[in-house]
């Protein structure tokens, strides 16, 4: 017993106790950063960290392997002209831990392009900053990582960049949910299994996620939602074609990306130690410098706050990494190329630009055979299917729509009904809401009860009478 007691006293005084960490990245007090099974502390000390069951399998992949110099030599080849967006992917890997210093929790960056454009190679290069790129990158295939698995992965990584390859294989709803969770920075709120109560601990995360795909997720989400403003504000996409540098030297991609598969996990600890050396005040100052520049160049609006923080964290990280010779990137050239691409996307993807009046036309197209068309007291086209959802009065250009069916239509398109009605009222398109008999003037249908309906100004054109005439 004395022997055991003396040994326990010896271990307490000689070595600090290992503390089990539930997540990787920054600890709650911000004084430590966990990479795999190692904890880097602000005072310069390095401790062993016991991994929780949630991160144990991932922690094993976050370890140094190979030579830092070999990794640096390979990554610096991305500084070649035409590879600016690929280099920006690496900046996302460095910038992810700095998102905690910004006003938003997270953002997703998408690389969309043809095969051979190097988008997966850029993803691997970014992941290799902290660990094994091939094993840490997630497959976006439907039969691969599950939605719950993705959420578990980003909560485990917390501040270390998450990479999802071939995300275009996932459906629109899954992509929409993923973009939301990453920006929201928290996992699902769950109930306890033993009693009717919420679980006490809800983990959070703050990171940059990088996705690659052949088809833009924007197309899928816009097909799912009429107003995908929330997703578009939290997602930045870059179109990637085969860069000229890879055309000139077909072996360049192999020189870069194959090297990062063998030499990895060596740059991350050096970068975090430099963050500690600089201190939070200096890091925030560098981030704000880049945010201020981006606001002047791109425009300042509240919906751009995710974009601002992305640029602030990535280019501040690039400046810090350059200063300690982890990379040698031409940040000015990369910034101008990134800004040009984002300005181009701003012209294509509009935020808060839903054309609510056009939804009336979409409603008519969808329910054309369930609408009664009247010209004064004459029926010019009877509905071909039930139930009746609307009444088109050609003579006075008024479109009556059942309140219930309109709200159902807007809900299916995930459109805010209050904003829809407010917008059309301000444009003097929405006339009134009242109880009306949609079948009024339709012979033999006067027994149909009135329903609550909205009336809208609507320009009906080229509505031809039914060739067979009204049904008697």
Report pLDDT for 181: 81
Percentage of the chain exceeding pLDDT 70: 86
Q: Mean pLDDT across the stretch 257-282?
A: 94
| pLDDT of 13 over the 80 cut | no
Report pLDDT for 317: 96
Q: In angstroms, what CA-CA distances link 315 with 268, 307, 370?
A: 16, 12, 56
Report pLDDT for 465: 59
* pLDDT tens-digit readout, 327-361: 999 999 999 999 998 887 665 555 555 678 888 88
**Which is more confident, 448 or 335?**
335
Report pLDDT for 446: 72
**Which is more confident, 185 or 260?**
260
Report pLDDT for 277: 95
Report pLDDT for 472: 37
Which of 337-341, 352-356, 418-422, 431-435 comes out lowest in average pLDDT?
352-356
Q: Is 274 exposed, middle or buried (0-12, 13-18, 19+ CB in 10 A)?
A: middle
Provide φ and ψ at 377, rounded to 5°.
Answer: -100, 10
Report pLDDT for 452: 92
| pLDDT of 218 over the 50 cut | yes
Report pLDDT for 172: 73
The pLDDT mean for the chain works out to 84
Report pLDDT for 188: 57
Q: Which of 151-155, 178-182, 348-352, 405-409 has the highest mean pLDDT?
A: 405-409
Instruction: List the one residue out of 117, 119, 98 whose CA is nearest residue 107.
Output: 98
For residues 371 and 382, what is the distance between their CA atoms, to the nearest angstrom?
Answer: 7
Which of 85-89, 161-165, 169-173, 190-194 comes out lowest in average pLDDT?
190-194
The angle formed by the CA atoms of residues 444, 448 and 449, to the nearest 5 degrees, is 155
Provide φ and ψ at 435, rounded to 5°.
Answer: -95, 120
Report pLDDT for 467: 56
Q: Mean pLDDT across the stretch 3-25?
A: 76
| pLDDT of 325 over the 50 cut | yes
Report pLDDT for 124: 93
Which of 71-80, 96-105, 167-176, 431-440 comes out lowest in average pLDDT?
167-176
Q: pLDDT confidence of 194, banded at 50, 70, 90?
A: low
* pLDDT tens-digit readout, 120-144: 899 999 999 999 998 988 875 544 6
Q: Is 284 exposed, middle or buried (0-12, 13-18, 19+ CB in 10 A)?
A: middle
Q: Mean pLDDT across the stretch 376-385?
A: 88
Instruction: List the one residue out of 257, 254, 256, 267 whose CA is nearest residue 65.
Output: 267
Report pLDDT for 253: 85
| pLDDT of 458 over the 70 cut | yes
**Beta-carbon contacts of residue 141 (< 8 Å; ≥ 6 apart):** 166, 169
Q: Answer yes or no: are the C-beta atoms of 402 and 434 closer than 8 Å.
A: no
Report pLDDT for 165: 87
The backbone region for 78, taken as left when phi is positive above 0, alpha when psi lies in -120 to 50, beta otherwise, is alpha
| pLDDT of 433 over the 60 cut | yes
Residues in the chain: 472
| pLDDT of 470 over the 60 cut | no
**Which is more confident, 343 or 283?**
283
What the chain holds in terms of domains, given with CATH numbers, is 62-190+202-348 (3.40.50.300), 356-457 (no CATH)
Provide φ and ψ at 138, rounded to 5°.
Answer: -100, 145
For residues 320 and 323, what is the distance between their CA atoms, to the nearest angstrom?
Answer: 5
Percentage of the chain exceeding pLDDT 90: 41
For residues 33 and 442, what is the distance between their CA atoms, to the nearest angstrom?
Answer: 74
* Residue labelled with tokens 């051979």: 116
**Which is more confident, 465 or 35?**
35
* pLDDT tens-digit readout, 40-99: 999 988 888 877 777 888 888 999 999 999 999 999 999 999 999 999 999 999 999 999
Q: pLDDT confidence of 230, banded at 50, 70, 90?
A: low
Q: What is the DSSP string of 292-312?
A: HHHHHHH---GGGHHHHHHHH
Q: Mean pLDDT across the stretch 173-184?
A: 79
Report pLDDT for 471: 43
Q: Answer yes or no: are the C-beta atoms of 141 and 166 closer than 8 Å.
A: yes
Which of 3-12, 182-191, 299-308, 455-464 comes out lowest in average pLDDT?
182-191
Q: Mean pLDDT across the stretch 105-125?
A: 88
Packed helices 84-95 and 119-127: angle between N→C axes, nearest 10 degrees: 30
Q: pLDDT confidence of 146, banded at 50, 70, 90?
A: confident
Pairing of strands 371-375, 378-381: antiparallel
| pLDDT of 231 over the 80 cut | no
Provide φ and ψ at 203, rounded to 5°.
Answer: -75, 155
Q: Mean pLDDT across the stretch 182-186?
A: 76
| pLDDT of 192 over the 80 cut | no
* Residue labelled with tokens 């179109």: 239
Report pLDDT for 33: 95
User: Sign (positive/negative) of CA torsion 319, 324, 329, 333?
Assistant: positive
Q: Answer yes or no: are the C-beta atoms of 393 and 372 closer than 8 Å.
A: no
Instruction: List the one residue out of 35, 182, 165, 202 whose CA is nearest residue 99.
Output: 182
């Amino acid at each position: 017993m004395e022997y055991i007691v003396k040994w326990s006293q010896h271990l307490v005084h000689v070595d600090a106790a290992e503390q089990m960490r539930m997540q990787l990245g920054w600890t709650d007090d911000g004084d430590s950063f966990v990479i795999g099974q190692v904890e880097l502390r602000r005072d310069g000390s390095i401790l062993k960290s016991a991994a929780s069951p949630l991160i144990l399998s991932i922690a094993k992949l976050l370890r140094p392997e190979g030579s830092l110099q070999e990794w640096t030599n390979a990554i610096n080849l991305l500084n070649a002209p035409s590879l600016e967006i690929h280099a920006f992917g690496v900046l996302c890997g460095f910038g992810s831990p700095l998102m905690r210093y910004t006003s938003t929790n997270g953002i997703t960056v998408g690389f969309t392009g043809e095969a051979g454009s190097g988008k997966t190679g850029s993803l691997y290069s970014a992941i290799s900053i902290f660990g094994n790129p091939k094993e840490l990158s997630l497959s976006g295939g439907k039969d691969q990582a599950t939605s719950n698995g993705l959420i578990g992965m980003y909560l485990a990584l917390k501040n270390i960049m998450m990479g999802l390859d071939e995300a275009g294989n996932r459906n629109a709803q899954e992509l929409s949910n993923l973009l939301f969770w990453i920006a929201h920075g928290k996992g699902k709120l769950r109930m306890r299994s033993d009693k009717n109560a919420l679980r006490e601990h809800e983990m959070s995360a703050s990171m940059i996620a990088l996705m690659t795909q052949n088809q833009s997720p924007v197309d899928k989400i816009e097909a799912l939602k009429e107003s995908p403003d929330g997703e578009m504000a939290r997602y930045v996409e870059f179109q990637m074609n085969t860069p000229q540098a890879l055309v000139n030297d077909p072996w360049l991609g192999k020189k870069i990306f194959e090297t990062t598969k063998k030499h990895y996990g060596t740059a991350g600890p050096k970068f975090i130690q430099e963050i500690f050396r600089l201190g939070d005040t200096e890091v925030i100052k560098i981030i704000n410098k880049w945010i201020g520049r981006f606001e002047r160049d791109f425009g300042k609006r509240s919906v751009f706050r995710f974009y601002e923080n992305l640029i602030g964290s990535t280019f501040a990280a690039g400046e810090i990494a350059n200063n300690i010779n982890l990379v040698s990137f031409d940040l000015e050239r990369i910034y101008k190329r990134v800004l040009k691409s984002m300005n181009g996307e701003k012209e294509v993807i509009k935020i808060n630009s839903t054309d609510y009046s056009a939804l009336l036309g979409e409603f008519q197209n969808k329910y054309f055979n369930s609408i009664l068309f009247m010209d004064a007291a004459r029926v010019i086209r009877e509905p071909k299917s039930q139930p009746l959802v609307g009444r088109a009065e050609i003579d006075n250009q008024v479109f009556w729509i059942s309140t219930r069916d309109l709200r159902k239509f807007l809900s299916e398109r995930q459109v805010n009904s209050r904003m829809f009605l407010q917008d059309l009222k301000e444009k003097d398109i929405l006339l009134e809401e009242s109880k009306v008999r949609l079948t009024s003037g339709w012979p033999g249908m006067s027994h149909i009860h009135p329903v609550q309906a909205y009336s809208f100004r609507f320009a009906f054109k080229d509505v031809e009478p039914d060739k067979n005439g009204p049904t008697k």
